[in-house]
Structure 1
Amino acid sequence: MSASPNEVVFAAVGDVHGNMNRMVNDLRHQAEVRHRQFDFVLQVGDFEPHRDEADLATMAAPAKYRHLGDFSAYDKARRGFPWQVYFIGGNHEPYGYLDTHPEGFELVRNCHYLGRVGVVDLHGLRVVGLSGIHSEERFRAQRPPLSALGSVSNKDFTYFNERDVEQALELGHADVLLLHDWPSGIIDPRDAADFEGQRRSPSHDTVGNEYARLLVDALQPRLVLCGHLHKAYRTSIQHPSGKTTEVRCLGSVGQGDGAYGVFHFKGESFHETFLTGRD
């Protein structure tokens, strides 16, 4: 399906975990069957852009999940991203690398980190991102300086804090909001059984966190994208203002189609198109 004139079409990607080659190949296929390149790609954290073993050592993850991944080839320009990719940080990132530019930066050509809190205007859409996950214990604490790497837990770098949320609130509004963890209170009770006893969600009413939800309620974006739980889920939030926020939670790239969404924005309306499977 080709895009209409003045229509912005972008892809959204869930947790990549270093599988950049699969991400690029899957998205290339989607662009080919639509006969239209994406205007850009948004990614919701756990991207894992490790250049080398030194970067990998700064990631918070059990040893069995520490893999260098594909990014080294992109860093060395042996491979490239066909579209502009914008990502936020999750809880499995080389923050020893990313926090050298907490305000965000271009890692390699066409690959941009939005920072701990970031905003970018893309084809007229205001995209806001908040990196990291929530820990009530760490929420009101400052993040350690990079000089503390090796003397504190790598996990201490994976959390957003009160100042991050305040900075995001100061941005005023967003068309698209990127989060790693889910906002709280979004699970329809009819879907409760799908969330009972799972990793990071012992019950449907414990999914997500209140500060991510605070951002949704304050910024009232048209679309929220999130990852983290490796589970695809769609819902919407009705605001007292009369505005509606569509929420799209994405799976991981290793799981296949549930990791991707394709969104068409034109004027004040937007819709998502379904993915087309490979032959």
Structure 2
Amino acid sequence: MKIAVEGCMHGDLDKVYDTIKYIENTRNIKIDLLCCGDFQAVRNEKDMDSLNVPPKYREMKSVWKYCSGQEVAPVPTIFIGGNHEASNYLWEFYYGGWAAPNIYFLGFAGVVKFGNIRIGGLSGIYNVRNCCLGHHERPSYNDNTIRSVYHVREYDVHKLMQLEELIDIFLSLDWPLSITDYGNWQQLVRYKKHF
């Protein structure tokens, strides 16, 4: 099975799928699945109000075409949420679900099986102030809750820890412990100074 992984795509699905098509054509392979994060799931203009991005950077990009059904994802796509999401939309899929045809959101903490591979994911980023709190934010978000709504909660982590079967692939926006044991850890630390 060939799996493409894309991080921080920020709503530019057309560009990601074009890249996959290019890779398939130039390498004569078939990509079976796309896993991505920081998806920026924005369906419409109203979703922009729940997007934690400065107004001058708010753009519709191309996710809306897939959510509306105008386009269908050419490869099955699984994603987790990040810190650039229309939180009002993803809250509708707290436990996971089909955000668009052929595009599945793993929820705030979820696991799915694709073929013989178990894929787990944890949406959001870690923030010490909000980790132990419940999900208290509700639309319409204010200046504080529009940022805190995408923070990982201890409750969601514990849900995943209760799994009895192993996860083959785990998607998360925060880097896992021991990441510095692999690759060029000095360069990793330059890009992200805390773990």
TM-score of the pair, normalised by structure 2: 0.90
**C-alpha separation between the residues in 1 aligned to 2:137 and 2:128?**
20
One of 87, 93, 111 as aligned partner of 1:119: 111
Instruction: Tell me the matched-pair count.
Output: 193
Cα shift at 1:193: 5.6
Gaps of 5+ in 2: none
- Check whether the contact 1:49–1:71 (CA below 8 A) recurs between aligned residues: yes
- Deviation by residue 1:121-170 (Cα, 9 ceiling, x = unmatched): 11100111111000011110111243563485201111111101100111
- Check whether the contact 1:60–1:154 (CA below 8 A) recurs between aligned residues: yes
In the alignment, what sits opposite 1:171? 163
2:159 is the alignment partner of 1:195: no
In the alignment, what sits opposite 1:93? 85
Q: Secondary structure at the match of 1:146?
A: coil
- Deviation by residue 1:58-106 (Cα, 9 ceiling, x = unmatched): 0112223321111122223332211110000111111100101200111
**C-alpha separation between the residues in 2 aligned to 1:111 and 1:193?**
33
- Check whether the contact 2:95–2:106 (CA below 8 A) recurs between aligned residues: yes
What's the % identity of the aligned pairs? 26
Structure 2: which amino acid aligns with 1:36?
I
Give me the CA root mean square deviation: 2.0
Cα shift at 1:13: 1.1
TM-score of the pair, normalised by structure 1: 0.64
Structure ID, larger Rg: 1
Moved over 6 A (4+): none
Gaps of 5+ in 1: 1-7, 209-279
2:141 is the alignment partner of 1:149: yes
In the alignment, what sits opposite 1:23? 16
In the alignment, what sits opposite 2:65? 73
* Compared CA separation, residues 110 and 188, structure 1 to 2 (3 A): same
Structure 1: which amino acid aligns with 2:26?
V
In the alignment, what sits opposite 1:63? 55
* Compared CA separation, residues 163 and 66, structure 1 to 2 (3 A): same
**C-alpha separation between the residues in 1 aligned to 2:173 and 2:185?**
21
Q: Secondary structure at the match of 1:57?
A: helix
